[in-house]
DNA sequence: TGCAGATAATACTAACCGGTATTTTTTATG
DNA sequence: CATAAAAAATACCGGTTAGTATTATCTGCA
């Protein structure tokens, strides 16, 4: 029972890395088999088909990492302006896993699979909504604690910030250099201070 | 000479529509042939291969439309705050060609082709830089004409705004409804006013 | 009108794709 | 240690892909 779980996880992790770099469509099942050294029989024992594996990657690899890297950091600081800026700054400049050239894994998936694959769209939407929800809470908390003006609309601000994050990662892909992130981050700071 | 140009253009236009909806990878040459009623011989007479057609789509279809829909509107208004807001509002809410569910054509291409196809990346980067350049000029002009504070950094603001646009289109794809655009637009207005 | 070069039609290929059917090996448990 | 079920290995298939080689037809111009 133990070893089987290990190979399943191995497939998911390696496949995620491949897909993050090459995209879902262009990563063939055979590619995954080659890099994992897993045979086709094993692969299709664990997954009904390629798409089921794709969904599993989102649920079992990306979702947990979303919570660790995108959600918990928001909840660990009292000042939401600081929390949000630190989070985005860390995601763009410090996070060793998220590479500039390859963009945001969730956004990549979204662009590639939406709207023609509704299963993917739904699971990805859940991911986005989760981040959105927590950021709204963070801002509302900040309003109560007087870090942020009362007339600020938390959901509006959240959508604005998350959109900006996704978009700047698109820029990063194009220019393949973290340097585009810097002016963006400066302006994000200005914007966040305009909310105080 | 005339009819040949017509079929070439016909291919580019129909292929662009297909790719906008389905994505580049999942749109096969045969798909394009089927919808254009063009034969393979004709297709490969006009284009060396599929990628050359892809680049031609960006240069000959998307670039001109970028100028019409993204650049000229910025130059036709004196007040940059108004100009930018009207532009984004129009792109998101009014433009009949850009569908919510299918996102931004340029961003789609970027996400799908970057970084593993450098030809695409380069041409798409040019597109982005062109928009960026004009928006920077718009803001600088606004600073001179006292519509915008002197201490505002035009490039920072531009990156911030374009990123937001790309990102909210990602949101739109996920939720497949223009309604997400509304809170974003409200906050964009707030942000723009914070620059005055 | 004739004809050469520009367009286009047809038939084909080799590689690759996701997926399946069958057999073999491994593993947990009595 | 025997055995049944879980897990993995192997070989194969039909369909699709981008691309090519060859042949046919158009079109503009002398």
Overall fold of domain B51-193: Tetracycline Repressor; domain 2 (1.10.357)
CATH number listed for the domain at residues B1-47: 1.10.10
From chain A, pick out residues whose CB is under 8 angstroms from the CB of B190: 156
- Pick the residue from chain B with its C-alpha nearest to A161: B164
**Nearest CA of chain A to the CA of B54: how many Å?**
16
Model confidence pLDDT, tens digit, residues A166-190: 999 999 999 999 999 999 999 999 9
Q: Do A166 and B163 touch (CB under 8 A)?
A: yes
Model confidence pLDDT, tens digit, residues B93-138: 999 999 999 999 999 999 898 888 999 999 999 999 999 999 999 9
B19: which residues sit within 8 A by CB, 6+ positions away?
B27, B54, B57, B105, B108, B109
Rounded Cα distance, A77 and A90, in Å: 14
CATH tag for A50-193 (out of 1.10.357.10, 3.40.50.300, 3.40.470.10, 1.20.58.1610): 1.10.357.10
Please give the structure tokens belonging to residue B183.
């809170």
Rounded Cα distance, A59 and A195, in Å: 34
**The pLDDT of residue A165 is above 90:** yes
Give pLDDT tens digits along chain B (196 positions): 577 789 999 999 999 999 999 999 999 999 999 999 999 999 999 999 999 999 999 999 999 999 999 999 999 999 999 999 999 999 999 999 999 999 999 999 998 988 889 999 999 999 999 999 999 999 999 999 999 999 999 999 999 999 999 999 999 999 999 999 999 999 999 999 999 9
Which strand C bases fall within 7 angstroms of a protein CB? 6-12, 16-22, 26-28
Model confidence pLDDT, tens digit, residues A2-41: 777 899 999 999 999 999 999 999 999 999 999 999 999 9
Angle at which helices B118-144 and B154-175 cross, to 10°: 120
Determine phi and psi for A99, rounding to 5 degrees: -90, 140
Write down the domain spans for chain A: 1-47, 50-193
Mean pLDDT over each residue of chain A, to the nearest integer: 96
| Residue carrying structure tokens 């291919």 | B11
Query: Which of A31-35, A112-116, A120-124, A187-191 has the weakest average pLDDT?
Result: A112-116
Q: How many CA atoms lie within 13 A of B26 on its CB side?
A: 20
The full length of chain B comes to 196
């Amino acid at each position: 029972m133990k070893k089987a779980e290990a190979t399943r996880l191995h497939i998911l992790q390696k496949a995620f890395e491949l897909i993050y770099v090459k995209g879902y469509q262009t990563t063939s099942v055979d590619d995954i088999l080659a890099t994992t050294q897993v045979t086709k029989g094993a692969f299709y024992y664990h997954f009904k088909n390629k798409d089921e594996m794709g969904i599993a990657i989102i649920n079992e690899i990306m979702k947990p990492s979303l919570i660790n890297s995108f959600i918990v950091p928001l909840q660990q600081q009292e000042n939401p302006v600081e929390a949000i800026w630190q989070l985005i700054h860390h995601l763009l400049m410090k996070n060793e896993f998220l590479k500039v050239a390859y963009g945001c894994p969730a956004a990549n998936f979204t662009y590639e699979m939406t709207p023609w694959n509704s299963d993917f769209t739904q699971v990805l939407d859940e991911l986005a909504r989760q981040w959105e929800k927590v950021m709204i809470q963070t801002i509302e908390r900040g309003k109560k604690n007087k870090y942020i003006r009362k007339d600020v609309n938390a959901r509006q601000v959240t959508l604005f910030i998350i959109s900006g994050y996704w978009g700047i990662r698109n820029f990063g892909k194009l220019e393949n250099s973290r340097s585009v992130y810097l002016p963006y981050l400066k302006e994000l700071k200005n914007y966040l201070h305009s909310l105080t």
